[in-house]
Structure 1
Amino acid sequence: MGNTAEHGLVFTFTNADATDAMAEGVLSKVEPPVDEWFHLAATYDAATRTATLYLDGTQAGTTRLSFPPGMPRPHCGSARRWPGASTRSGSTSGR
């Protein structure tokens, strides 16, 4: 989980534990509150391969992952490569 300038709050998964791994997940386009506390939570349903992100208890986004069952790995913080995009880096800072 984190925040990027382009995608807002995100909950991402990778297909491998490597810096050049492909990533996918919830790209909410929701910006976190500035200079105030907030609660960020996420769930992953392995049976349906559905990831959901919540901001202060309200759903901020959801997506079904295309990775094969058993493959996605939660990821936070370091740079990962999005399919068809340049490298992105995330931050867990709320500011």
Structure 2
Amino acid sequence: MSNVLKELRLSTKQSQVSFAAIMGVPTRTYEDLEAGKAKVRQVHVNAALWAVMVFFSDPACDISFDELHPKVKFGVEKIIHKLRLPPA
């Protein structure tokens, strides 16, 4: 499940440091989660999804949400499938 966090982070083109800050977790914790050294729990996935939403809602975002929306949607659908969550 650690790849889920990486997929979401890469959809925003953010570094681990930046994405961890938006998620509200220490950088070292995020690095351990993404590297598989710490167990990724649902709370981490939820925080990463929140970080994606925060990132794309920031007016200073230099990435067009409209341009990346299909990629982000695809990533979220992959995550739902991997976690076997019921669709929203």
When normalised by structure 2's length, the TM-score is 0.32
| Structure ranking higher in helix proportion | 2
| Structure ranking higher in strand proportion | 1
When normalised by structure 1's length, the TM-score is 0.30
